[in-house]
Amino acid sequence: LVKSLVLGRDPSDDADVQAGRADGAVLADPGNTISRVHAEIRAAGWDVHLVDRGSTNGTFLWSAVGNQWDRLPSHQPVALTPGTTIAFGALTATFESANRQKA
């Protein structure tokens, strides 16, 4: 069984985490830019989706084409591809996959 992963300063506050339908992952945020329940990573078949959970400061994906951060609409899943750079508030991360194909 693959569970979703809820990210935030205090993801234990999320109903899905409390009910055991998702696991929580605490993001360290000394600048206080991440919401208690900020975003969710979920498996959808062979894809991995990122969902902003209505965070105050947003969840962003880096657009190399536009050379800018694009804010995700709240509660709308977006498929991630290996190498995607993500920002949760002021915290950044890169999505990687063991299945990433080499160029």
> pLDDT tens across 51-88, in order?
999 999 999 999 999 999 999 999 999 999 999 999 99
- So what's the pLDDT on residue 45? 87
Q: At 18, is the secondary structure helix, strand, or coil?
A: helix
List Cα–Cα distances, 73 to 17, 54, 55, 84, 96, in angstroms.
Answer: 22, 8, 10, 17, 22
The yes-or-no verdict on residue 101 having pLDDT over 90 is: no
Q: Residue 83 is encoded by which pair of tokens?
A: 């190498």
- What are the DSSP E strand ranges found in 3-83? 4-8, 22-26, 39-44, 47-52, 59-63, 68-71, 78-79
Q: Cα separation of 66 and 63, whole Å?
A: 5
